[in-house]
């Protein structure tokens, strides 16, 4: 099982689009994929067609596990992880949705004795371990939820919008990454830095050059280009990879790169 966190503290860099379409591309290549929505905004859940039902969500899993790690707290029965998993018939992938309740997880997790390991504990479930890839759509924040994602992951993919101010915040994300790698999860690696919303402007080319100078071989060969297809795909709740689109082909190519890098 390969656990991949899609992370960048900046919003609007195509984290959710990348998580969904990479997941679908890997599924179409014959892999078994589970997507995890770790953002209280629940954009990924919406993209995958989630509608409120009576089943428990990522919020229930996180908050119950955190409570059970808290000294002196009355222990509660964990939701059955397998029963929290939904299947997107359209997009072919399995996923655990989020909801606004996840916004309260930070406070609950901060009380836990092993607050950095809550998500890792959840993903250790036998049902989860049946998947080839678990892809976590992280929230745009540097808080405890991101630390949990990095602590549970084998690697991280960093989408970077190739527009003005795109590099802002990458140093802080790097500090969190280094901290987690040195103290919690020594196997954590940067799978790759992914330029997104690329176009033919000078600023876009300049950002890609600066990223290449900084990250070298960690840069993906695949670049995701700017297109209205992405927004249309989200509104239709249908992955770009299911149609013959330019962006869909880019994400299928990215999936090949990710598989290769995860094997080395």
Measured CA angle at 15 (ends 250, 46), to 5 deg: 105
Per-residue pLDDT band for 249 (boundaries 50, 70, 90) equals very high
Assign residue 122 the CATH number of its domain. Answer: 3.40.50.300
Give phi and psi for 203, each to the nearest 5.
-65, -40
Per-residue pLDDT band for 54 (boundaries 50, 70, 90) equals confident
How far is 218 from 6, CA to CA, in rounded Å? Answer: 15
Interval 57-80 mean pLDDT: 80
Q: What is the mean pLDDT of the chain?
A: 91
Q: What are the pLDDT digits (tens) for 86-127?
A: 999 898 899 999 999 998 877 778 777 788 999 999 999 999
Q: What percentage of the chain has pLDDT greater than the value 90? A: 66
What is the predicted pLDDT for the residue at 250? 96
Interval 217-229 mean pLDDT: 91
Q: What are the pLDDT digits (tens) for 2-22?
A: 999 999 988 889 999 999 999
Judged against a pLDDT cut of 60, whether residue 264 lies above it is answered with no
How far is 185 from 221, CA to CA, in rounded Å? Answer: 27
What is the predicted pLDDT for the residue at 71? 61
Number of domains in the chain: 1
What is the predicted pLDDT for the residue at 74? 63
The pTM is what? 0.94
Judged against a pLDDT cut of 90, whether residue 233 lies above it is answered with no
73 or 207, higher pLDDT: 207
Residue in the structure block whose two tokens are 């196997």: 187
Nearest to 159 by CA among 107, 91, 98, 230: 230
Domain range for residue 259?
2-263
Interval 189-211 mean pLDDT: 93
Burial of 231-259, coded b for 16+ CB within 10 Å and e otherwise, reads eebbeeebbbbbeebebbebbbbbbebbb
């Amino acid at each position: 099982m390969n656990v991949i966190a899609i992370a960048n503290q900046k919003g609007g860099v195509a984290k959710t689009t990348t998580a969904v379409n990479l997941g679908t591309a890997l599924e179409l290549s014959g892999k078994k994929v589970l997507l995890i929505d770790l953002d209280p905004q629940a954009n990924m859940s919406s993209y995958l067609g989630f509608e409120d039902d009576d089943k428990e969500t990522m919020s229930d899993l996180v908050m119950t596990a955190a409570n059970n790690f808290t000294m002196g707290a009355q222990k509660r029965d964990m939701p059955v992880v397998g029963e929290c998993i939904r299947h997107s018939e359209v997009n072919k992938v399995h996923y655990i949705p989020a909801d606004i309740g996840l916004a309260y997880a930070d406070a609950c997790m901060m009380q836990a004795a092993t607050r950095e390991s809550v998500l890792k504990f959840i993903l250790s479930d036998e049902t989860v371990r049946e998947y080839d890839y678990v892809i976590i759509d992280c929230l745009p924040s540097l808080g405890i939820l991101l630390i949990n994602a990095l602590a549970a992951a084998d690697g991280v993919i960093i989408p970077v919008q190739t527009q003005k101010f795109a590099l802002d915040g990458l140093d802080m994300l790097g500090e969190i990454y280094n901290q987690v790698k040195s103290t919690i999860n020594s196997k954590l690696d940067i799978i790759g830095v992914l330029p997104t919303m690329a176009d033919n402007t000078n600023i876009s080319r300049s950002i890609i050059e600066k990223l290449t100078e900084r990250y070298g071989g960690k840069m993906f060969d695949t670049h995701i280009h700017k297109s209205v297809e992405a927004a249309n795909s989200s509104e239709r709740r249908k992955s770009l990879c299911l149609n013959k689109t330019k962006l869909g082909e880019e994400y299928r190519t990215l999936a090949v790169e990710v598989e290769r890098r995860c094997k080395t």
